[in-house]
Amino acid sequence: MGVRKRESAEARKAANKQVAFAKLNNCPTSPRKMRLVADMIRGAKVERALQLLKFSNKEASRKVEKLVLSAIANWEAKNEDASLEDADLFIKEIKVDSGAMLKRLRPAPQGRAHRIRKRSNHVTVVLAANDNTQSN
């Protein structure tokens, strides 16, 4: 059993060598607005995704752009010997999860109060090297 575990662990490490990720926690933007930006770049090549994010006029795109650049830097740190141009990186996965919610009260007519929910989110970006089986 020890040999089988070791072989599967080595196979997992080899697969993870081609993958890099970055995570942004507690970003003070609603998840719905962030998902619009995430859907725009999902599955795209990194160069194309950075162009889309740079010229998008949404505020959430600035934060996602920094996150993609961070994931690229993480990939470069993992693979010092490989070049970025030859790797043909693409966004394998990007997911937006709901984060903590700040609950505030806003005065309403006739002495009542309405609850305001200030939402935040967590964004995870996973980059992978294109191995010519993908057609992106």
Residue 135 in any domain: the answer is no
pLDDT tens per residue across span 18-67: 789 999 999 999 999 999 999 999 999 999 999 999 999 999 999 999 99
Residue 134 clears pLDDT 90, i.e. is over it: no
**How far apart, in whole angstroms, are the C-alpha atoms of residue 84 and residue 57?**
27
Residue 2 clears pLDDT 50, i.e. is over it: yes
Residue 80 in any domain: the answer is yes
CA 87 remoteness from chain centre: 19
Residue 43 in any domain: the answer is yes
Residue 1 in any domain: the answer is no
- At residue 1, the pLDDT reads 59
**How far apart, in whole angstroms, are the C-alpha atoms of residue 38 and residue 43?**
10
φ, ψ (nearest 5 deg) of residue 18: -90, 0
- At residue 14, the pLDDT reads 83
pLDDT tens per residue across span 61-109: 999 999 999 999 999 998 888 888 788 899 999 999 999 999 999 999 9
- At residue 132, the pLDDT reads 62
73: domain CATH number is: 3.90.470.10
- At residue 136, the pLDDT reads 45
**How far apart, in whole angstroms, are the C-alpha atoms of residue 30 and residue 33?**
6
91-107 burial: b if 16+ Cβ within 10 Å, else e: bbebebeebeeeeeeee
Residue 10 in any domain: the answer is no
Q: How confident is the model at residue 129 (pLDDT cuts 50, 70, 90)?
A: confident
CA 68 remoteness from chain centre: 7
Per DSSP, what are the bridge partners of residue 129?
A: 89
**How far apart, in whole angstroms, are the C-alpha atoms of residue 130 and residue 136?**
8
3-state helix, strand, coil in the chain (%, to 5): 45, 35, 20
Structure tokens given for 5: 């575990």
The number of folded domains in the chain is 1
Mean pLDDT across 105-131: 94
Helix spans in the chain (H): 2-17, 31-41, 46-55, 59-78, 84-87
